[in-house]
């Protein structure tokens, strides 16, 4: 008797677009997310500033999210599917939570700032980064393959030694390139990561290095022109 071998092939989960609230100045026209009395949320387009209720409505932007939640990931509350419970009173759903264990397909163990709690995967979001505002055709719920997504990046030349000037006391501090980049990564929320490339030693100038910054913004391939925006 010939046995049959079954191979389990894990299909790659597509990333998707989701509106989430952000801080910042509101300029019309814009999308706002309104929190309803039952805790659920609804999206509205606003064309007049006088139509915005700042108590219940907040500015919203499109973010790239993933359903591929793994241990160690950071997740946040999904306002569309959030189920209010008594645990919300101690901070459940506030800020970011770390995924501690995948119990099964319907339950994950996470640690919020206020403590641990079991959640369903649909109640939380794994946010990758903001979708470029130039991808004007993208709407909430659209899904994308990996080859349709491009992380925004920029490559620059930076000196190996950097002097930082303190305006308060007039002092200066010399930093090595790696120290300077780590400081930028900590202070600038738009920067996701960086990579140091080729390094150059100059005879008549300060030594420099090629640095690529990767940002928390993602371009999407246009289905019409096939370019990333």
Q: What is the mean pLDDT of residues 34-40?
A: 76
What per-residue confidence (pLDDT) applies to 167? 84
Q: Does the pLDDT at position 8 exceed 60? A: no
Domain check: are 66 and 176 in the same one?
Answer: no
Domain check: are 92 and 173 in the same one?
Answer: no
- Residue 185's domain spans which residues? 148-220
Please tell me the distance from the alpha carbon of residue 193 to that of residue 162, in angstroms, as a whole number.
19
Domain check: are 140 and 207 in the same one?
Answer: no
Give pTM, 2 decimals. Answer: 0.81
Using 50, 70 and 90 to split pLDDT, how confident is the model at 3?
low
Q: Which of 101, 139, 107, 144 is nearest to 123 (CA)?
A: 107
Q: Which of 127, 144, 161 is the last residue of a domain?
A: 144
Q: What is the pLDDT of residues 85-129, one digit of tens each?
A: 899 899 999 999 999 999 999 999 999 998 999 999 999 999 999
Q: For residue 211, is it within any domain?
A: yes
Please tell me the distance from the alpha carbon of residue 126 to that of residue 97, in angstroms, as a whole number.
10
Q: Does the pLDDT at position 1 exceed 50? A: no
Using 50, 70 and 90 to split pLDDT, how confident is the model at 11?
low
Q: What is the pLDDT of residues 62-85, one digit of tens each?
A: 999 999 999 999 999 998 888 888
For residues 207 and 4, the model is more confident at 207
Q: Does the pLDDT at position 6 exceed 60? A: no
Q: Does the pLDDT at position 7 exceed 60? A: no
Q: For residue 128, is it within any domain?
A: yes
Domain check: are 164 and 134 in the same one?
Answer: no
Q: What is the mean pLDDT of residues 15-21?
A: 94
Domain check: are 60 and 160 in the same one?
Answer: no
Q: Does the pLDDT at position 5 exceed 60? A: no
Domain check: are 52 and 133 in the same one?
Answer: yes
Q: What is the mean pLDDT of residues 55-60?
A: 87
> Cα(first)–Cα(last) distance of the chain, in Å?
57
What per-residue confidence (pLDDT) applies to 4? 56
């Amino acid at each position: 008797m010939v046995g049959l071998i079954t191979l389990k092939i894990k299909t790659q989960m597509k990333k998707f677009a989701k509106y989430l609230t952000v801080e910042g100045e509101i300029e019309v026209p814009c999308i706002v997310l309104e929190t309803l009395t039952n805790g659920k949320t609804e999206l509205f387009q606003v064309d007049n500033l006088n139509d915005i209720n700042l108590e219940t409505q907040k500015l919203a932007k499109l973010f790239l999210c993933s359903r591929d939640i793994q241990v160690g990931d950071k997740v946040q509350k999904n306002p569309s599917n959030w189920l209010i419970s008594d645990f919300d009173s101690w901070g459940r759903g506030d800020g970011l939570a770390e995924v501690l264990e995948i119990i099964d397909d319907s339950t994950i163990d996470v640690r919020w700032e206020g403590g641990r709690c079991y959640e369903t995967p649909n109640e939380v979001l794994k946010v990758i980064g903001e979708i470029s505002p130039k991808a004007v055709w993208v709407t909430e719920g659209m899904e994308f393959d990996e080859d349709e997504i491009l992380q925004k990046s920029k490559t620059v030349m930076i000196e190996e030694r950097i002097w930082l000037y303190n305006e308060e006391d007039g002092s200066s501090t010399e930093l090595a390139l790696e120290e300077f980049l780590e400081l930028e990564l900590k202070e600038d929320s738009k920067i996701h990561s960086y990579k140091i490339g080729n390094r150059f030693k100059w005879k008549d100038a300060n030594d420099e290095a090629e640095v690529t910054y990767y940002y928390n913004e993602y371009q999407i391939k246009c289905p019409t022109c096939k370019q990333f925006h």
